[in-house]
Amino acid sequence: MTTVLFTGGGTGGHLMPALAIAEEMVRLDPEIRPFFVGSRRGIEAAVLPQRPWGYELLPLEPIWRRRWWRNIRLPFALFESFRALRRILVRENPSLVVGTGGYVAGPVVWAAMNRGIPAVLQEANAYPGISTRWLARRARQVHLGFPEARARLAVGPNTEVFDSGNPIPPPPSPRPPKRDAKRVLGFPPDRPLVFVTGGSQGALPINLAVAGALESGKLPGGASLLWQTGQGMLEQFIRFRSAGRVAVEAFVDPVAEAYAAADLVVSRAGGTVTSLAAWGLPAILVPLPSAAAGHQLSNARAAADAGAAVLLEQSKLTGVALATLVSQLLGSPARMADLAAAAARRARPNAATEIASQALRLLSKK
């Protein structure tokens, strides 16, 4: 068996790509043994125990940009983590390390590279995270979710860079007809459906704008609305639920049903942008202003510049502004078709396979 060390977490946007790549590497080569290193405070603490692979969680902490005083714990966490990392690297003896970003990946990949272990990096955003920018010069491979990230990286002479896309579960093939998907969700098949999502935790500014649009009656009367409020905000907005017209849910699972039924999506600009491209969906992107290094704004701008989405900055987000934009798009089938086609051109549905294949090539050279 060949051990491959995977690291990336803190959030699902960093952990899920690592899991997808690991699954694909095992499928391509059953002799691969994934081992994960994450943080005790990240989402991986809940997810990794449900997976069949070994793992260890370290006391790693994020770098706090706004609440800077919380960084006082950082040196102690790093000291304890590096001591544990030395033990893990000796015990597991990995032949390759794969880092998918987040505050977990940087120290782990750095420690592995210092022991001569080749590194593969996967960068999900148009503006590369600090871990990718720091490690790219010494990495053997860098896989980009957005081709626009290439211009923001300084790589080494032995670093290969690939526009692989972000690894996500691809849409089913064949895809369910949109009319059938709408019926499954309880919506009239002949009405346009707008899917609004701020992610699993929700986005209060987006939710407030949707509520304002509904209260003012500005949303198109012929449209249906599937509205994911986030786990903690359902009770605040459930009063808007209307059978066959407005569905208000804390979380839509499986989200593939929503993508299959949607004609237009309103969302943040994190990992959702990759899914929108894979499904070829027109979108209004409202990036989170406080996202690290403004990466969501970079993602939204990249999609908008490619003609694949419409950017609506949160500072300009109101119920009237959102309703007006939705009405304009739904009232212009040609514009919607152009957005959908541009989104589909950016799709990389086989990203996990490509990344896994290229990574395995490094092992074959050893």
Quote the tokens at residue 353. Answer: 């396979």
- Give CA separation, 135 vs 63, 154, 162, in Å: 17, 9, 16
Quote the tokens at residue 190. Answer: 């002949």
Give just the sign of the alpha carbon dihedral 204, 208, 211, 213.
negative
Q: CA 17, CA 220: separation in Å to the nearest integer?
A: 37
Q: What pLDDT is recorded for position 44?
A: 87
Residue bearing the bigger pLDDT, 286 or 17 = 286
Amino acid letter at 155?
Answer: V
10 has pLDDT over 80 = no
Q: What percent of the chain has pLDDT over 70?
A: 94
Lowest mean pLDDT among 173-177, 288-292, 348-352: 288-292
Nearest to 243 by CA among 188, 191, 190: 188
SS3 of 285, please? strand
- Give CA separation, 326 vs 61, 217, 238, 348, in Å: 40, 13, 21, 27
Distant-in-sequence, close-in-space partners of 310: CB < 8 Å, separation ≥ 6 = 282, 283, 284, 285, 304, 325, 329, 339
From the candidate CATH numbers 3.40.47.10, 3.40.50.2000, 3.90.1150.10, 3.40.50.800, the one assigned to the domain spanning 2-170+350-364: 3.40.50.2000
CA angle 352, 156, 133 (to 5 degrees): 65
Predicted confidence (pLDDT) per residue in 108-147, tens digit: 999 999 999 999 999 999 999 888 999 999 999 999 999 9
Predicted confidence (pLDDT) per residue in 89-105, tens digit: 999 999 999 999 888 88
CA dihedral 90, 96, 100, 103 (to 10 degrees): 20
Could you state, in order of their start, the residue ranges of all structural domains in the chain? 2-170+350-364, 178-345
Quote the tokens at residue 317. Answer: 């987000």
Residue bearing the bigger pLDDT, 66 or 202 = 202
Q: What pLDDT is recorded for position 238?
A: 96
Q: CA 132, CA 154: separation in Å to the nearest integer?
A: 10
Quote the tokens at residue 274. Answer: 């990759």
- My answer on whether omega of the bond before 174 falls inside 30° of 0, hence cis, is yes
Residue matched to tokens 């790219």:
136
Q: Do domains 2-170+350-364 and 178-345 have the same CATH topology?
A: yes
Q: CA 142, CA 366: separation in Å to the nearest integer?
A: 19
Predicted confidence (pLDDT) per residue in 231-259, tens digit: 789 999 999 999 889 999 998 878 899 99
Q: CA 29, CA 23: separation in Å to the nearest integer?
A: 10
Say how many C-beta atoms besides its own lie within 10 A of residue 332's C-beta: 12
Nearest to 100 by CA among 176, 24, 7: 7
Give just the sign of the alpha carbon dihedral 33, 129, 12, 311.
negative
Predicted confidence (pLDDT) per residue in 165-221, tens digit: 999 878 888 999 999 999 999 999 999 999 999 977 789 999 999 999 999 887 776
- Half-sphere exposure of residue 107: CA atoms within 13 angstroms, side-chain side: 24
Q: What percent of the chain has pLDDT over 90?
A: 70
From the candidate CATH numbers 3.40.190.80, 3.40.50.2000, 3.40.630.10, 3.90.1570.10, the one assigned to the domain spanning 178-345: 3.40.50.2000
Quote the tokens at residue 287. Answer: 């990036």
